């Protein structure tokens, strides 16, 4: 894997460089000292992955991510001194197209520093995602099941690359007296999930909480998948987390979530698949559509990465393909029509 480093701190660059080259098969493609240089270097030589710092002179990591994803897109991992302290910027960068965030590893005397294993695990996970995207092979879907006819509403949302900003835009347009529950699966590491819930709370008129095993699905509340296992709706209509399928590179998986909704949710439902790399969620959205659920995919021109919604469109899994600004309105209109 060819990995680029964007950071203005020499010690951080050296820590990242040493960690990258310590792994067979990883190499440093190039190094940039700020966002302006990174945009230029990426246009000339697109790496497999960019390790993007946030706070830099001339152009910060958020704007650099936005420009790279618009001009020469590739996988971007935000690497900052503290993910927790810089949470707002991390999620702005993820909204612009970064895949995830991690704290900068340090190097010790023996070149084995603090945070190195977590950092490498992030890179390995992104590598698996890239491999899955290149294979571009759909998973085999089970036969659809029919949803029940109760009056309870569920809004099911799946997203990945660029998802935080897209999800925030949808949530911001929902009413405070919403007579529906909202469940969200966003591809994000469990260490970043609490910060994402807090960040979404700043954009949502409804409370956003991390989904806990055993939680009940309640109107007027937004629950976000909070672990690296797959969020599911169980037969008793409580929420749970499944480790299997363990080999699924998307964690938590939108497909697994949507399938559980199709299998077990007994009320009415609207499902939306938003911006993201790969195919996760497309098969699950198709199952939901065949079960009688209104399904929506985000349009290409408003996606940070038109991967997951594109896969859904190719499968004819979406009843509607809409720009992000229109999705909340379509959800609410459908709920009004079917009352």
The catalytic residue among 280, 291, 299, 319 is 280
CB 296 within 8 A of CB 320: yes
72 is catalytic: no
Residue 141 lies in a domain: no
Q: What is the CATH number of the domain that holds 192?
A: 3.40.50.180
Same domain, 109 and 175: no
pLDDT tens track for 107-165: 653 444 557 888 898 898 888 878 766 655 444 444 444 433 456 899 999 999 999 99
Same domain, 52 and 176: no
- The residue out of 109, 135, 161 marking a domain boundary is 135
Which residue segment(s) compose the domain that 262 sits in?
153-337
pLDDT band (50, 70, 90) for residue 69: very high
Chain-centroid distance, C-alpha 162: 7
Number of domains present in the structure of the chain: 2
pLDDT tens track for 285-301: 999 999 999 999 999 99
Residue 47 lies in a domain: yes
Same domain, 85 and 162: no
The catalytic residue among 187, 204, 229, 260 is 187
> What pLDDT is attached to residue 248?
80
Same domain, 131 and 214: no
Same domain, 105 and 162: no
Residue 146 lies in a domain: no
Q: What is the CATH number of the domain that holds 6?
A: 3.40.50.2300
48 is catalytic: no
> What pLDDT is attached to residue 189?
82
Same domain, 332 and 230: yes
Same domain, 130 and 159: no
- The residue out of 135, 168, 202 marking a domain boundary is 135
Give the span between the Cα atoms of 188 and 165, in whole angstroms. Answer: 13
- The residue out of 135, 167, 195 marking a domain boundary is 135
Same domain, 198 and 57: no
Same domain, 98 and 167: no
For the purposes of burial, counting CB atoms within 10 Å of the CB of 274, is it exposed (0-12), middle (13-18) or buried (19 or more)?
Answer: buried
Same domain, 106 and 44: yes
187 is catalytic: yes
The catalytic residue among 53, 60, 100, 160 is 160
Residue 145 lies in a domain: no
Same domain, 13 and 89: yes
Same domain, 82 and 202: no
**What percent of the chain shows pLDDT beyond 90?**
73
């Amino acid at each position: 894997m060819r990995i680029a480093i964007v950071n203005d701190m020499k010690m951080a660059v050296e820590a990242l460089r040493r960690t990258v080259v310590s792994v067979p098969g990883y190499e440093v493609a190039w190094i940039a000292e700020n966002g302006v240089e990174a945009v230029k270097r990426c246009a000339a030589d697109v790496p497999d992955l960019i390790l993007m710092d946030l706070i830099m002179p001339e152009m910060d990591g958020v704007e650099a991510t936005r420009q790279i994803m618009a001009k020469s897109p590739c996988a971007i991992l935000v690497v900052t001194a503290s993910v927790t302290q810089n949470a707002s910027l991390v999620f702005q960068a993820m909204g612009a197209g970064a895949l995830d965030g991690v704290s900068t590893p340090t190097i010790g005397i023996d070149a084995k520093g603090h945070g190195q294993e977590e950092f490498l695990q992030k890179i390995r996970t992104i590598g698996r995602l890239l491999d899955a995207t290149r294979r571009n092979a759909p998973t085999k879907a089970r036969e659809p099941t029919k949803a029940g006819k109760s009056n309870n509403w569920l809004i099911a949302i799946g997203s990945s690359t660029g998802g935080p900003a897209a999800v925030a835009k949808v949530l911001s347009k929902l009413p405070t007296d919403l007579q529906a529950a909202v469940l969200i699966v966003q591809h994000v590491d469990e260490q970043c999930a609490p910060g994402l819930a807090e960040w979404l709370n700043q954009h949502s008129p409804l409370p956003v909480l991390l989904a806990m095993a055993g939680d009940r699905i309640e109107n007027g509340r937004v629950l976000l998948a909070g672990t690296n296992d797959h969020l599911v709706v169980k037969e008793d209509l409580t929420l749970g987390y499944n480790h299997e399928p363990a080999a699924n590179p998307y964690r938590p998986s939108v497909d697994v979530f949507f399938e559980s909704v199709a299998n077990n949710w007994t009320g009415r439902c609207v499902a939306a698949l938003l911006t993201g790399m790969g195919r996760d969620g497309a098969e699950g959205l198709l199952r939901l559509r065949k079960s009688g659920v209104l399904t929506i995919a985000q349009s290409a021109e408003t996606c940070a990465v038109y991967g997951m919604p594109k896969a859904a469109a190719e499968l004819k899994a979406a009843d509607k393909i809409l720009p992000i600004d229109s999705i909340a309105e379509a959800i609410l209109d459908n709920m009004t029509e079917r009352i």
